[in-house]
Amino acid sequence: MLAIDDFGVGFSSIGYLQHLPVGMIKIDRTFTRDIDSDARAAALVEAILLMGSALDLQVVAEGIERRTQVQRLRGSGCTVGQGFLYGRPVPLADVVARLEADRSAREASLVQPSRG
């Protein structure tokens, strides 16, 4: 799936949605940062969400740091988000180690069939 990161800023253009096989847009944190305190920011995010829905795109809100942002985004119909509220960036090696530890813990918790 092709995703447009930082949608709404820089080189991410609405025109790309018409000419590229885009399946996801990620709302830049400059819009989500003030969604809970700035009516204009909230209106822009809602417009992006409506556009994404009309084009059958998955929409991800970036830069979520506060629960009040989550409440506002959910109220606007956004169901996917990322940001420091959920976790800080970590090196790939740490992610792999965590996944392997989780897998080992799941495997250790499986009930072994009795032999008899």
Q: What is the CATH number of the domain that holds 46?
A: 3.20.20.450
Q: What is the DSSP string of 1-28?
A: -EEEEEETSTT--HHHHHHS-EEEEEE-
The per-residue pLDDT for range 3-50, each reduced to its tens digit, is: 777 676 666 667 778 888 889 999 999 999 999 999 999 999 999 999
Is 29 part of any domain?
Answer: yes
Structural domain contains residue 97: yes
What's the whole-model pTM score? 0.72
115 in any annotated domain: no
Kindly state whether residue 16 falls inside one of the protein's structural domains.
yes
pLDDT per residue as tens digits for the range 71-102: 999 999 999 999 999 988 889 999 999 999 99
Q: Does a structural domain hold residue 114?
A: no
Domain total of the chain: 1
Residue from 62, 65, 100, 107 carrying the catalytic annotation: 62
Asked about 107 being catalytic, the answer comes back as: no
Asked if 59 and 52 touch (Cβ cutoff 8 Å), the reply is yes
Domain with 89, as residue range(s), is: 2-109
For the cut 90, the answer to whether the pLDDT of residue 59 exceeds it is yes
pLDDT score for 14: 77
Is residue 116 assigned to a domain? no
